[in-house]
Amino acid sequence: MSQPARGRVLLALTRQDVDYWGQLLGKDREVTTERAWPADPSIDYALVWKHKPGVLAGLPNLKLVISMGAGVDHVFADPELPDVPILRVVAENLTTHMTEYVVWRVMDHHRQGMAYRVQQAGKVWEEHGQQTAACVHVGIMGLGHLGRAAAKALVALGFRVNGWTRTPAAAEGVDTFHGEAGLKDFLAATDILVVLLPHTPATEGIIDYDLLSGLRRDNALGGAVLINAGRGMLQKEAGILRALDDGTLKEASLDVFEEEPLPAQSPLWSHPRVFVTPHAAATSDPEHLVPLMLEQIARFERGEALDNLVDRKAGY
């Protein structure tokens, strides 16, 4: 039997399926799990998802941290994070899941899904007028890998797609805006706002009442719509509820929240114009992600360039 490759791995994650991740990784590497702490100080690599703060600080041999997802805000939440390179995982199946979620929610709002579900509950037979996709402008905040993939799918369905980024960016078939100067015009040209931004100090709380007030309400949908599948800390839920209640927003689909799990007392659960999913837009599949992470470790050991290296200054 072949021996595991050199370079020991710490698996530090908040997941129920930690054993399965460990089994897959253990075929190639010697693995220690966070619950076996204190870990051997000879650990070389840490694969993390919402790890306990301080867990990585006692690893003097640590060379690389890999986030087990596209987001890295949970990594930077550790005040004792060692000064080593950080990678995030960009996997095609994660991208596919997110694109499916965005298309699903855009189409549901576009085709009056909430109104028809209410009618079904009341046994009401009434047809609503329906516009074509070309009459609806979808604005995507964040044109990274996930945002560009979602934009491509929406353009193919005939939607008019806008994109907003902090710095100039381009995507085929997308009208792009950037920076503070471009945000007002972006919002004014958007009927359905899709949020796929990373969580950084600059984006925390960006989805508030004032921002939502800039969306176009006089449109083919009969009002503005919010879809957030990015990060919960991007939004201020009090502002979203206010916007829903005074007509600034027609509807919202939320997959992420300021506090997760979403507390039972949150009014979002029962709001008639809010669709809630439990941070399930794009779930991590270890069978797809483990090979990608192991390949990055192998590249590191060969001295090769790494994919999806995080910019610590930008926070993503």
Backbone Cα Rg of the chain: 21
**Residue written as token pair 């298309």:** 103
Q: Where in the chain is the domain with CATH 3.40.50.720?
A: 9-89+284-302, 92-276
Q: d(Cα 274, Cα 267) in Å, to the nearest integer?
A: 10
Q: d(Cα 257, Cα 263) in Å, to the nearest integer?
A: 10
In this structure, what are the phi and psi dihedrals at residue 140, rounded to the nearest 5 degrees?
-110, 120
Q: d(Cα 42, Cα 4) in Å, to the nearest integer?
A: 15
229, amino acid identity: A
Name the superfamily (CATH) of residues 92-276. NAD(P)-binding Rossmann-like Domain (3.40.50.720)
Q: Residue 39's pLDDT is what?
A: 59
Distances (CA, A) of 315 to 46, 98, 312: 18, 21, 5
> What string of pLDDT tens digits covers the 316 residues of the chain?
444 457 899 999 876 678 899 999 999 999 988 776 565 788 999 999 989 899 899 899 999 999 988 889 999 999 999 999 999 998 999 999 999 999 999 999 999 999 999 999 999 999 999 999 999 999 999 999 999 999 999 999 999 999 999 999 999 999 999 999 999 999 999 999 999 999 999 999 999 999 999 999 999 999 999 999 999 999 999 999 999 999 999 999 999 999 999 999 999 999 999 999 999 999 888 999 999 999 999 999 999 999 999 999 889 9
200, amino acid identity: T
CB 4 within 8 A of CB 28: yes
**Residue written as token pair 């984006």:** 203
Q: Residue 40's pLDDT is what?
A: 76
CB 229 within 8 A of CB 194: yes
CB 161 within 8 A of CB 151: yes
The residues assigned a catalytic role are 231, 279
Residue 30 structure tokens: 């010697």
pTM: 0.93
**Residue written as token pair 């939440």:** 77
Q: What is the 3-state secondary structure (H, E, C) of the chain?
A: CCCCCCCCEEEEECCCCHHHHHHHHHCCCCEEEHHHCCCCCCCCEEEEECCCCCCCCCCCCCCEEEECCCCCHHHHCCCCCCCCCEEECCCHHHHHHHHHHHHHHHHHHHCCHHHHHHHHHCCCCCCCCCCCHHHCEEEEECCCHHHHHHHHHHHHCCCEEEEEECCCCCCCCEEEEEHHHHHHHHHHCCCEEEECCCCCCCCCCCECHHHHCCCCCCCCCCCCEEEECCCHHHECHHHHHHHHHCCCCCEEEECCCCCCCCCCCCCCCCCCCEEECCCCCCCCCHHHHHHHHHHHHHHHHHCCCCCCECCCCCCC
The topology (CATH level 3) of 9-89+284-302 is Rossmann fold (3.40.50)
The answer for 65, left when phi > 0, alpha when psi is -120 to 50, beta otherwise, is beta
